[in-house]
Structures are given as structure tokens and as C-alpha cells.
Structure 1
């Protein structure tokens, strides 16, 4: 199986730093290449890319035939795009549907989204980055988006001290910018990406993707592509379709373009991951197309 071969290649370095150092002692060039990718990204890159490949394997299993044509691949993805975003928001009856977790008011950018709310937010990652500017739009996406962050969580997001006086001030300042917390907000459980600003998350996706694109396919991958050209072509078409879908949402928040139900779900994925998820996913799909050539 081609994708299993790709996943095995990405997992050569192991999951722990000690595994990487042990693998580096080998003479296998493919293993050394993945270990270098792991070291450059502090162990994050290969594991994240392998998870993307795992999700793609799940997608492949949903297809009706072993090796569909380009037309059938596009048809499979097209059925997600039958309704417009406006229709989807207005007619969805299942309140548990993930698309309903996005306030319709943040689907389209506002002119005030580009106003700076806080120009002195300390970064979580990176060296010599100085401070980060948080916009009103980013506050809206955290509070009205699928995460539904509370005032206390927003304080943590802005790297501010939390006390009895700071939360009312935060609410008041945001209300002046047109951002109002909902009393019915049920925030998601915070995770690693929750603490990253969009600036940091996008930079992480771009930098990790750059290192991934420098990773050559393994000898086994090349052999499988040569021995199974039809399956390799199929995977290239699937990867291309997914990359186009991820890219269509927009690389940055101000670039977002939401026209279909599929776009709405991808927007949720984008917002939950602070614009890391779909950008990195697109990078993996580009690398997969190159590896299957």
C-alpha cells in the first residue's frame, strides 16, 4: 500500500529524541533524511505529517473504487459543495453540527478586523520575534469562532495577568471594539495550539512545510510508485484535490474565501488550529504529489 509506505517512511525517526539519535547511527540514507527533518523541527514535523497521512488513509477508504479516475475523485469531493454557506447556516437543523459552531458574523472579514487590539503580546515560540500584534479580527475569531474562548482564556491568550479587575476591563475594551462575549459560550478544552497566536501558528505551518518539502521520498516509495503507476496517479489526483480545497480557504485570515458547505467545515478546522491545520495539510499534500511522481 503506497500510503502505508509513506507513513512508515515518516515514522523512521521514532517518537522520542532518543529514538532519533539511535536511528541516526544507522547507515540508511532514508532514515537519516527523516531524522534530519525531525531534528530541524524538534521532533514535530514527521509526527505531524504522519498524522495527516493517517487521515488521508481514512479518506481513501471512503472512495467507492480502488483507483478512481480524476473525474470520479472530483465528483466525490464535489458532493460536499452542493449548498452555499448562507444556505448551510440558515437551514442546518442539527445543532451538534460543527459548522454551526461558527458565528455567521465572522465568516466575512470586517474593516475593523484589521485594527490593532493589542500591540505588545509576548510570543510563545520563536527567537527574537519581539512582540506580536493582535488584531480585533483575531479576537473575534477566538471568541465567536468554534473555540468560543472565555474572558479568562482570552487573558491567557494575550499573556495578561488574570484577576478580578482585569476581566471586566477586558470585556469593556472588547465591547468598544464590537466584540461581545456570549453568556452561553461553551469553550473547547484548551490544547497546545490554543496558546499560539495566528502569527505563530501560520509561521509554524510554513516553516515545517518548508522542511518537509526538502525531504526526498524513500527508496521503497520510489519502487512502489514505479511498480504501481495507476495507484500513484490516483493518489496524486486525490492530494491535488485536497490541496486545492485547503488552499481555497485562504492562507491567512484576511484571505479566507467561504462559498460552500465544505469551505465552512474547512474554515472551522482552520480557526480551531489558528490557521496552522489547513496550511500544513496543504503542504503535506504538495509533498505527497511530488513523492508520487
Structure 2
């Protein structure tokens, strides 16, 4: 074969290859069985939604286009849901996915389980979910269904986003001491203040953030040590109290009087869902309003 023949042959192969379909490297092979087991769910955007609802309901963010500003209702759907296996917890939920397209929760006020929604996992590892209360979601599976990221797609959810983590059957052995590092960040509303004229200014917000550790003694007492942003600066806070861990791995802290600080530096409530003995999801109620929450995480030390 001459050099010219070789050149023409190579050019022909190149042209033919350019006409072939492109190879897709997307993940495939998923189905409903990829979502099987109990999932702890955190609505990551809960704080932003609460902030926007406060602003919108105050009328301080009017529209120049003549339209109205909607208030998001039940953002995230899975959070603060009475059908959750943990009961209503703002920003958090726990549901069982049966591997066949049914979402299982509980009948409010009882221990009776019931089907509260449905889901479909597609071959490309995307998914759709729907609760019987009307909320719908688009989702992406990761880690073979061990973790799921979702966005609420119905008109009432405001595009709330969150994550689902497949939970282990046991949180950690009963009677075992355990320590978790934690962090959270968000915005906390401040009381509205009157202006110099007849008008009243809209609600103001301040950062709500902290990083620290929680030590559980394995019985019912805890010790908390944190650096918290409060009144314009970061302050150390130490506190103690009691805790409970429910059968569905839901953690709740009850504070006593803190030492070395004031009660204003402590949150009104701390709730968590333990995904396993090594990590968990955290929601902190920043004041006495149940919907004023920020989300964070727990990591075993």
C-alpha cells in the first residue's frame, strides 16, 4: 500500500467514526429497588424558605409589576410532616421506601403504618416522588440509592431542596457514650423596629451560626460545647441537659441553665436524625417560633 492509499484509508476511517453515535457515560441500570429501606430526610432550604415567608408576609418586598408574592406552604413536604415515622419535626422527616414504589409513613397519633406516597426510579437513576398530600418531587440517586438529592416541583413548595440518607437499622448501641461534632448556619429574624417617621421598617435578620460538639453519656445526659455567633461576635458557650433517642433514631436535646453565658446564646431547641453511628442530620430552632430553624450536620468524633 502506497503512502497515498494509507492516507486516504485513514481519512475514510476518520470520517466514518465521526458519523457514529456518541457514547453516553451516564449512570444507568437503576430501578425502584434502589430505594429500599428507612430514609432520614433533611430539607436543606428550610431556613431560606422561612426567611422569604417572613419577608413576603410583612409586605416589605412588594412587586413593581402588579403581581402578588406567594407564601410557601409546607416547604419540602417531607419536613414537619405528621406522617413521618418520627412525628412532626420541622425540617426533618423519616419514611420507609419499600423497593416497589410505595412510601410508608405513619398515621398521626398512632403507631400504625400506612402508604403515604409513591415513587418511580428511572433507568438513568433519576426519580419522581409524590406524597398523598399533594407534594411532588424530582430527584437524583447517588451511591446506589444510599443518598438522594431532591427538589420539590409542585407550585406550593417554592423549589425546596433537600437530601435523603438511607439509615442503618440501629443508631448506636444503647448505653454507649457517643460524641458528635456539629455545625449549622442560617439567618434568624430580629423583632421589627419603628422608623423615624410614620412608616415601620420591615423585619431584620441576623446570622445564626455555630460549631461545636455534643457528648452523650449513654444514659440520658449530654454536654454541649460550642462557639456561637451572637450579638455581633463569636462567643464560647457550654451547656448541659438531657436527651432522648427515639426508636426511629430521632435525637432531642433539652437544655438546662448554661454556664459562662446567657440563655439567649442557646437555641430554643435541637433535634436530629441519626443516619448511623457515625453521622446524622441536624435542625436547630433558633427562637420560640417553631418555623425559625437552621439545618446542619452531626459527625461522630
TM class, shorter-length: under 0.3
Structure number with greater CO (CA < 8 Å, separation at least 6) is 1
Higher strand share goes to which structure? 2
Normalising to structure 1: TM-score of the pair? 0.22
**Structure of larger gyration radius:** 2
Could you say which structure has the higher helix fraction? 1
State the TM-score, normalizing by the size of structure 2: 0.22
